[in-house]
Amino acid sequence: MTKAELVSAIAKGAGITKKQADAALKAAVSAVAGAIKKGERVAIPGFGIFAVRQRSARKGRNPRTGAVINIPARKVVVFRRGQVILTRGLCPLFYEKVHRIRFRRFLSIHRGRGIKTSKSKESKSRGRG
């Protein structure tokens, strides 16, 4: 969903103009960003929680040269989803898609190793462009 689509949905749902909805969205995003910048936690009941976490310093490796480098400590923004996202079935669709991709990778790896699968190469190629 783009910002324009979000503004239209807010305007339609609240019964206000798109200009007013755009101003409300900008104010809400500004308030959340300001609170996060201060290091505060922003909780939107049912939707989720935005919070700031401290990541510790660690050693890393430059992929080009292979040299060990120091990665400094820093703050990162995290989001923990709430009940609305869980109960409306948004996350299960995501997980189902991930598992489907993993299963396809499993099949592509194991077809050549003599493991029988339900789909043969002929039925896969038949009738598809």
pLDDT by residue (tens digit) across 57-107?
999 999 999 999 999 999 999 988 887 776 665 555 555 555 555 555 655
Output the pLDDT for position 82: 81
Residues 41-81, CATH architecture: Irregular (4.10)
Reported pTM? 0.58
pLDDT by residue (tens digit) across 22-70?
999 999 999 999 999 999 999 998 888 999 999 999 999 999 999 999 9
The SS3 assignment for 73 reads coil
Higher-scoring residue by pLDDT: 47, 119: 47
Output the pLDDT for position 1: 83
Output the pLDDT for position 38: 93
CB 80 within 8 A of CB 91: no
Q: pLDDT-based confidence at 129, cuts 50/70/90?
A: very low
Could you give the C-alpha distances from 56 to 12, 16, 96, 97, in angstroms and in order? Answer: 44, 45, 33, 33
Report the C-alpha gap between 65 and 59 in whole angstroms.
15
Output the pLDDT for position 80: 87
CB 84 within 8 A of CB 49: no
